[in-house]
């Protein structure tokens, strides 16, 4: 079990009203499950009040990096002490 | 190499036309104004851009660049005038990028866009007006550049950028700036820039926020945030929260600074990091990216 930090950015930070949280997790899946449990419904509710409806889990509509590496590029799902998860919404407009 | 007689004539004309200028800090400078530069270009049969470059090489500053020189120097301005920058997309980000690069004095702009202005663009696309709705963005942008800085060469392509045509459209561009609104096109730009071994200034926006990264050919680039799988989103949160007017202006301005830094060598480009700007919270965050 590792103590990791989750850092929220952009719209997620302003809607959740916090820039970070800590989690005790074994691996990425465990961390994402806790993230959804602790912040998923709160984020969706906050967004809903602003007229923004999002379906699915927090991980489904976020870009997530572990220590600066996109989750999709990770070679190992294991977490170690002091790891940092960065999470923010994809902004793709121009 | 020895200057030719013609070159010496141009230098002589420029030097003889220079005027003294007392800078706010008391420094005595030599400057040349727009009309004089145009007149020399006309009489010598060369472009206004060549006159400006010749002047700068003699330490004479075209008045229009007086406020540029303190940050980038004479050499920086010369490099900008000698550089070709491609701007893909002439809408929200792209319009402001083009406007600022013209004012900065980048010598040649390649502008790529296949769209016309619509009413939906009026809130944020700096080059759109009620008058020019329905006109091609590249046509309007080229006209605007000519009005701002007639010394600049403009090449326009009224085409949608694809993986197949990207390298041809970029031609001999030395930097590409991103004014796109979807991820597949950005991936096509990134691929073409790698093949051409030129840097790409990526940015995108949504709501009060945006993100930016300067990608050199050897950098990990877009896959460092979107991952290397095929399951990448085509569009993001902007389809829910829109694009208000200030956001593209903020992010495009940062992109222009990146382009200027790359060309002049002044400062440090935002490589291997994602810059996250959130105007709602007055926050700029930087995440260092790793492979």
A93 in a domain, yes or no?
Answer: no
Nearest to A52 among B94, B234, B240 (CB): B240
Instruction: Tell me whether residues B209 and A73 touch, CB distance under 8 A.
Output: no
User: pLDDT, tens digit, for every residue of B224-236?
Assistant: 999 876 666 777 8
Determine the distance in angstroms separating the CA of B75 from the nearest CA of chain A, rounded to an integer.
32
Instruction: Tell me whether residues A90 and B205 touch, CB distance under 8 A.
Output: no
B106 in a domain, yes or no?
Answer: yes
B72 in a domain, yes or no?
Answer: no
pLDDT value, residue B229: 62
| CB-CB contact of B93 with B205 (8 Å) | yes
pLDDT value, residue B231: 64
Residue A73 lies in domain: 2-88
Determine the distance in angstroms separating the CA of B225 from the nearest CA of chain A, rounded to an integer.
5
Total domains present in chain B: 2
Q: Does B289 touch chain A (CB under 8 A)?
A: yes
Determine the distance in angstroms separating the CA of B113 from the nearest CA of chain A, rounded to an integer.
13
Instruction: Tell me whether residues B278 and A63 touch, CB distance under 8 A.
Output: no
Residues B272 and B193 in one domain: yes
Model confidence band, residue B258 (pLDDT cutoffs 50, 70, 90)? very high
Residues B48 and B87 in one domain: no
Chain A contacts in chain B segment 241-280 (CB below 8 A)? 241, 243, 248, 276, 278, 280
Q: What is the pTM of this model?
A: 0.95
Determine the distance in angstroms separating the CA of A2 from the nearest CA of chain B, rounded to an integer.
21
B78 in a domain, yes or no?
Answer: no
Residue B237 has pLDDT above 90, yes or no: no
Q: How far is the C-alpha of B20 from the C-alpha of A81, rounded, in Å? A: 64
Instruction: Tell me whether residues B225 and A67 touch, CB distance under 8 A.
Output: no
B130 in a domain, yes or no?
Answer: yes
CATH code, domain with A56: 3.10.20.30
Residues B165 and B229 in one domain: yes
Q: How far is the C-alpha of A37 from the C-alpha of A53, rounded, in Å? A: 18
Instruction: Tell me whether residues B278 and A53 touch, CB distance under 8 A.
Output: no
A68 in a domain, yes or no?
Answer: yes
Residues B196 and B100 in one domain: yes
User: pLDDT, tens digit, for every residue of B117-159?
Assistant: 999 999 999 999 999 999 999 999 999 999 999 999 999 999 9
Q: Quickly list DSSP for B127-170.
A: T--STTTTSBHHHHHHHHHHHH-TTSEEEEE-S---TTTHHHHH
Determine the distance in angstroms separating the CA of B36 from the nearest CA of chain A, rounded to an integer.
39
Residue B199 lies in domain: 83-288
Residues B25 and B159 in one domain: no
Question: Does the structure's ipTM exceed the value 0.90?
Answer: yes
B77 in a domain, yes or no?
Answer: no
Model confidence band, residue B6 (pLDDT cutoffs 50, 70, 90)? confident
Instruction: Tell me whether residues B238 and A91 touch, CB distance under 8 A.
Output: yes
pLDDT value, residue B126: 98
Chain A residue with the nearest C-alpha to that of B241 = A52
User: pLDDT, tens digit, for every residue of B64-111?
Assistant: 999 999 999 999 999 999 999 999 999 999 999 999 999 999 999 999
A48 in a domain, yes or no?
Answer: yes
Mean of per-residue pLDDT scores for chain A: 94
**What's the mean pLDDT in B252-264?**
98
Residues B103 and B131 in one domain: yes
Instruction: Tell me whether residues A11 and B278 touch, CB distance under 8 A.
Output: yes
Q: How far is the C-alpha of B140 from the C-alpha of B284, rounded, in Å? A: 33
Total domains present in chain A: 1
Q: How far is the C-alpha of B50 from the C-alpha of B111, rounded, in Å? A: 22
Chain A contacts in chain B segment 92-121 (CB below 8 A)? 92-94
pLDDT value, residue A54: 87
Residues B166 and B111 in one domain: yes
Residues B30 and B129 in one domain: no
Which stretches within chain B are classed as H helix?
Answer: 5-17, 34-44, 48-57, 66-81, 92-104, 137-148, 166-170, 183-196, 223-226, 238-241, 246-264
Tokens of A54: 């999002």
Q: Does A94 touch chain B (CB under 8 A)?
A: yes
User: pLDDT, tens digit, for every residue of B166-218?
Assistant: 999 999 999 999 999 999 999 999 999 999 999 999 999 999 999 999 999 99
CATH code, domain with B220: 3.40.50.720
Residues B176 and B218 in one domain: yes
């Amino acid at each position: 079990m590792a103590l990791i930090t989750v850092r929220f950015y952009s719209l997620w930070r302003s809607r959740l009203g916090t820039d970070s949280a800590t989690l005790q997790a074994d691996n990425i899946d465990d961390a994402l499950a806790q993230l959804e449990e602790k912040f998923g419904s709160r984020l969706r509710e906050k967004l809903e009040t602003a007229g923004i409806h999002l379906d699915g889990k927090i991980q489904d509509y976020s870009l997530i990096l572990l220590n600066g590496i996109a989750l999709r590029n990770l070679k190992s799902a294991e977490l170690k002490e002091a790891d940092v998860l960065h999470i923010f919404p994809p902004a793709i407009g121009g | 190499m020895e200057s030719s007689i013609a070159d010496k004539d141009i230098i002589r004309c420029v030097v003889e036309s220079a005027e003294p200028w007392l800078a706010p800090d008391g420094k005595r400078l030599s400057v040349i104004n727009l009309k004089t530069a145009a007149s020399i270009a006309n009489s010598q049969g060369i472009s206004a851009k060549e006159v400006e470059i010749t002047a700068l090489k003699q330490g004479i500053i075209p008045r229009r660049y007086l406020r540029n020189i303190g940050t980038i120097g004479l050499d920086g301005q010369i490099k900008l005038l000698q550089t070709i920058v491609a701007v893909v997309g002439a809408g929200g980000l792209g319009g402001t990028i083009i406007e600022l690069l013209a004012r900065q004095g980048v010598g040649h702009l390649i502008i790529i866009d296949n769209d016309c202005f619509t009413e939906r663009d009026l809130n944020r696309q700096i080059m759109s007006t009620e008058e020019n709705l329905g006109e091609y963005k590249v046509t309007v942008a080229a006209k605007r550049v000519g009005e701002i800085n007639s010394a600049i060469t403009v090449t326009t392509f009224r085409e949608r950028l694809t993986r197949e045509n990207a390298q041809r459209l970029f031609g001999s561009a030395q930097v590409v700036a991103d004014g796109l609104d979807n991820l597949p096109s950005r991936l096509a730009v990134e691929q073409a820039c790698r093949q051409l071994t030129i840097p790409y200034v990526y940015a995108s926006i949504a709501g009060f926020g945006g993100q930016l990264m300067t990608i050199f050919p050897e950098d990990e680039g877009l896959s460092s945030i979107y991952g290397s799988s095929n399951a990448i989103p085509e569009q993001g949160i902007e389809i829910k929260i829109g694009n208000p007017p200030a956001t593209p202006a903020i992010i495009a301005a940062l992109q222009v600074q990146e382009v200027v830094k790359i060309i002049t060598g002044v400062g440090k480009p935002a490589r291997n990091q994602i810059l996250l700007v959130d105007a709602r919270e007055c926050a700029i965050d930087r995440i260092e990216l790793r492979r």
